[in-house]
Amino acid sequence: MAFYEKDVGTLIDEAKLQARIREMGAEITRDYQGKELTLVCVLKGSTFFAMDLARSIDLPLTLEFLGVSSYQGGTETTGEVRITTDVSKPMAGKHLLVIEDIIDTGLTMGFLLENLRARHPASVKVASLLEKPSRARTKVDIDYKGFVIDDVFVVGYGLDYAEKYRNVPFIGVMKGK
């Protein structure tokens, strides 16, 4: 029995996740033909999704990592988004695709887009595996969206509860939360 089975139920299983990610990768491949693409992976939650998506994109690309945190391990956003790790190169003139695991209140992505746009990239688009529209506090346009989910606290495939459960291999829900 896996370490998480007592606490975590399945919301989106591995097969469904991987099939959708392949479709998203194919769409991104078509849209960025002839362009130099930079994936901006948002630490820590997006890492599992970003690495699978990157492998599904049939184009040369560059990886950057940007760390932000606002949940501080809890289930409610603190509303204060902080950069914990910055990207390694100037973003000016680049075609940026920001990769997120989830857009919930939208505060993190709103902050990120404002921050990245101020660096004068050639373009900025957003890919998010999950969207939880019921909790949106600011409007974010998602260019590539994996799944729309209800207002449940999700873990796994990068998403944490108090920094744990990120390595659960599917999107799960905390039992009794």
Active site residues per annotation: 104
Q: How far is the CB of 160 from Mg ion (least distance, A)?
A: 5
Structure tokens, 127: 């890919």
100-119: which residues touch ligand PRP (CB under 6 A)?
100-108
Classify residue 153 as left (phi > 0), alpha (psi -120 to 50) or beta.
beta
Judged by beta carbon, residue 31 or residue 133, the one nearer ligand PRP is: 133
Q: How far is the CB of 161 from Mg ion (least distance, A)?
A: 8
Instruction: Tell which one of 17, 24, 45, 124 touches Mn ion (CB under 5 A).
Output: 45
3-state secondary structure 41-98: EEECCCHHHHHHHHHHCCCCEEEEEEEEECCCCCCCCCCCCEEEECCCCCCCCCEEEE
Selected range binding ligand PRP among 26-34, 38-46, 49-57, 143-151, rule: CB under 6 A? 38-46
Is residue 29 within 8 Å of 58, Cβ to Cβ? yes
Length of the chain: 177
Instruction: Tell which one of 25, 37, 69, 98 touches ligand PRP (CB under 6 A).
Output: 69
Q: Is 70 in the site for ligand PRP (CB under 6 A)?
A: yes
Instruction: Tell which one of 31, 56, 63, 71 touches Mg ion (CB under 5 A).
Output: 71
Q: Which of 8, 12, 4 has the alpha carbon at shortest distance from 170?
A: 12
| Residues β-bridged to residue 99 | 41, 127
Query: Considering CB distances under 5 to 8 angstroms, the limit depending on partner class, which of Mg ion, ligand PRP, Mn ion, none binds residue 102?
Result: ligand PRP
Interface residues toward Mn ion, by CB under 5 A? 45
Interface residues toward Mg ion, by CB under 5 A? 71, 160
